C-alpha cells in the first residue's frame, strides 16, 4: 500500500468503516515501541492511553514479540476443543497461582473482556440456580448484550440498542466525590456498602441473586476508587446470602495499579476474577478464573468458543507474566506516586481540577467548572484531550459526565517521556481553565 497521510486515510476510514466506532484522535499509527507512538507522517506521540490499558508492559516488548513469532511458526490456530495445546494449560496454571486466594482454582480463556463478563454471569447462574445479577452505577463491563446491560452509562454505550437482558439490578457505588447518599467519608461509616442489605428489601431479594459484579476501580465510569473497607463489607454480605462475588479486573489487572490485581489493595478475595486487556500484550485474550469447585460445575461443552485461548495469544500471555515481576510492579508504584504528586500540585493551581483519585499509576483527574457545585467540565475535558494530541500526547477521557482525564501510560515509560507528557497536560490545562 502506498504511503498515505492521516487525512487521506481518514477519508478512506469514513468511506469504508461505519461511524459507530469512535476515534479519540485523527491519526493513524505506523509503529509503536515502549511508550512512544509514531504516526504515518512520522510524528511521534507520548502514549498516556496504552491502547485503553492494554499495553501495560509497553508496545512491542521484545520478549512478547519473540514469543508471538515462535508460536506463529509452529501453529496459529487449532481450537482448544479439537486438539489441545500446552500454552493454554500453562497460562491457566500460572493465573491460578497468581490470582488472590489460597484455594484451588481453575481458568478458561475467551477473546475479550466482554466475553469474560458474559461467561462469569453464565457460571454464577448455573452454580447458584438463581437469575439475578447486581451491578453498579457508573460501571462498564463491555458491549455485548449482557455486558452492555451490566454497563451503566446510557450514551454512547446503550442508547438505542434496547431491550436489554432481564434480571440485572443496579445499586449506587462508592463514588465519594459525588456521594449518591449525600454523605462524607469516613463519618459515613461506608453506608453505601451497608445499603446492599436495604437493596435486598426494596429492589431484589437476596435469594434470587446469583452474583454481584464490580470493578475494583471503575474504568470508563470515571476512575472511581472506593474507600478501604468497602469491598470487605460488600463481600461479607454476599457470603451471608450465598451470592458469588465477581471482580472485573479487565482494566485494573496486570499491574495497572502497582499490584498484579487491584483487589489486592482492598484485601478482598473474589469468588471469580475476570482478566483481559493487558494480559496478552495487545493480542485478544481474556480469562475467567475462579474457585475450582465453582468452575467445574458447568457441564462439559457448556463453556468455550472457537478462538478462545488462541495459542499465539496464550504464548504472549506467558511472556507478559514473565515481565510483570516485582521490579516492574515496584516501578509501577513509583510511577503512580510521581503522577499523583504532580496532579495534586496542579490541583492547588487550577480550580478546574475537582478531584484526583486512583491507585498506583491508574490515576484520574475530574474536571469541574465550579468546585462548590461540582458542575462537570465536559467541554473543557474534550478540549484538553484535543490540545494534548495536537502537542504530541495521546490521552483519554472517561466518566459518566465525560469530565475525567485518565492516565494509562505503559509502565515502561521513561522519566523523560513521563515529564514531557505531564508538562503537556499542565500547559494545556492552563489554556482550558
Residue-wise pLDDT tens digits, 8-26: 999 999 999 999 999 999 9
If you ran DSSP here, which 8-state letter would residue 109 be given? E
Look up residue 348 and give its three cell numbers.
492547588
> How much is the pLDDT for 340?
97
- Given a cut of 90, is residue 397 above it in pLDDT? yes
Q: Mean of the pLDDT values across residues 227-233?
A: 97
> How much is the pLDDT for 1?
61
Strands 209-214 vs 244-248: parallel, antiparallel or unpaired: parallel
Confidence class for position 407, pLDDT limits 50, 70, 90: very high
- pTM of the entire predicted model: 0.96
Confidence class for position 145, pLDDT limits 50, 70, 90: very high
Q: Mean of the pLDDT values across residues 78-92?
A: 98
Where would I find the H helices in 186-296? 191-202, 230-240, 292-295
Look up residue 66 and give its three cell numbers.
519473540
Determine contact, residues 408/223, Cβ cutoff 8 Å.
no
Task: Please identify which residue in the block is written with the cell numbers 494480559.
Answer: 279
Confidence class for position 70, pLDDT limits 50, 70, 90: very high
If you ran DSSP here, which 8-state letter would residue 284 be given? S
Q: Kindly give, in sequence order, each residue whose CB lies less than 8 Å from that of residue 335, ignoring residues fewer than 6 positions away.
A: 360, 361, 409, 411, 413, 418
When the pLDDT of each residue in the chain is averaged and rounded to a whole number, the result is 97
Q: Mean of the pLDDT values across residues 322-326?
A: 95
CA 188 to CA 18: how far, in whole Å? 47
Distance of CA 107 to the CA centre of its chain: 19
- Given a cut of 90, is residue 2 above it in pLDDT? no
Q: Please give the domain boundaries of the chain with CATH numbers for all domains.
A: 6-56+336-432 (3.90.1150.10), 64-323 (3.40.640.10)
> How much is the pLDDT for 433?
85
Q: Mean of the pLDDT values across residues 260-276?
A: 97
The model's pLDDT over 172-183, given as tens digits with 9 standing for 90+, comes to 999 999 999 999
Confidence class for position 92, pLDDT limits 50, 70, 90: very high
- For the chain, give me the number of helices (H) and strands (E)? 13, 16
Amino acid at each position: 500500500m502506498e504511503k498515505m497521510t492521516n487525512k487521506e486515510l481518514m477519508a478512506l476510514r469514513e468511506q469504508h468503516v461505519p461511524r459507530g466506532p469512535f476515534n479519540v484522535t485523527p491519526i493513524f499509527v505506523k509503529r509503536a515501541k515502549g511508550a512512544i507512538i509514531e504516526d504515518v507522517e512520522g510524528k511521534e506521540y507520548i502514549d498516556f492511553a496504552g491502547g485503553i490499558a492494554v499495553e501495560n508492559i509497553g508496545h512491542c516488548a521484545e520478549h512478547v514479540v519473540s514469543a508471538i513469532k515462535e508460536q506463529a511458526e509452529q501453529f496459529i490456530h487449532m481450537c482448544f476443543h479439537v486438539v489441545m495445546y500446552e500454552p493454554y494449560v500453562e497460562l491457566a496454571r500460572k493465573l491460578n497461582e497468581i490470582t488472590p486466594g489460597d484455594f484451588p482454582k481453575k481458568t478458561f480463556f475467551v477473546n475479550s473482556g466482554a466475553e469474560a463478563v458474559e461467561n462469569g454471569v453464565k457460571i454464577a447462574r448455573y452454580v447458584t440456580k438463581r437469575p439475578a445479577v447486581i451491578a453498579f452505577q457508573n460501571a462498564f463491563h463491555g458491549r455485548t448484550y449482557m455486558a452492555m446491560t451490566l454497563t451503566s452509562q446510557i450514551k454512547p454505550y446503550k442508547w438505542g440498542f434496547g431491550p436489554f437482558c432481564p434480571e440485572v439490578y443496579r445499586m449506587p457505588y462508592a463514588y465519594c466525590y459525588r456521594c449518591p447518599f449525600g454523605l462524607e467519608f469516613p463519618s459515613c461509616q461506608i453506608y453505601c456498602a451497608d445499603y446492599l442489605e436495604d437493596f435486598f428489601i426494596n429492589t431484589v431479594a437476596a435469594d434470587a441473586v446469583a452474583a454481584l459484579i464490580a470493578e475494583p476501580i471503575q474504568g470508563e465510569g470515571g476512575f472511581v476508587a472506593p474507600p478501604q473497607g468497602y469491598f470487605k463489607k460488600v463481600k461479607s454480605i454476599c457470603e451471608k446470602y450465598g451470592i458469588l462475588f465477581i471482580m472485573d479486573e479487565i482494566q485494573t489487572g496486570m499491574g495497572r495499579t502497582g499490584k498484579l490485581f487491584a483487589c489486592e489493595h482492598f484485601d478482598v478475595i473474589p469468588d471469580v476474577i475476570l482478566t483481559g486487556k493487558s494480559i496478552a500484550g495487545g493480542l485478544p485474550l481474556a480469562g475467567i478464573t475462579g474457585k475450582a469447585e465453582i468452575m467445574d460445575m458447568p457441564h462439559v461443552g457448556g463453556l468455550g468458543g472457537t478462538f478462545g485461548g488462541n495459542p499465539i495469544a496464550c504464548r504472549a500471555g506467558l511472556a507478559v507474566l514473565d515481565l510483570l515481576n516485582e521490579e516492574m510492579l515496584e516501578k509501577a508504584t513509583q510511577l503512580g506516586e510521581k503522577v499523583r504528586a504532580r496532579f495534586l500540585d496542579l490541583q492547588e493551581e487550577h480550580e478546574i481540577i475537582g478531584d484526583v483519585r486512583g491507585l498506583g499509576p491508574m490515576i484520574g483527574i475530574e474536571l469541574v467548572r465550579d468546585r462548590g457545585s461540582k458542575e462537570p467540565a465536559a467541554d473543557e475535558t474534550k478540549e484538553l484531550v484535543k490540545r494534548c494530541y495536537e502537542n504530541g500526547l495521546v490521552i483519554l477521557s472517561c466518566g459518566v459526565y465525560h469530565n475525567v482525564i485518565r492516565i494509562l501510560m505503559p509502565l515502561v515509560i521513561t522519566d523523560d517521556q513521563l515529564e514531557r507528557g505531564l508538562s503537556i497536560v499542565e500547559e494545556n490545562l492552563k489554556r482550558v481553565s
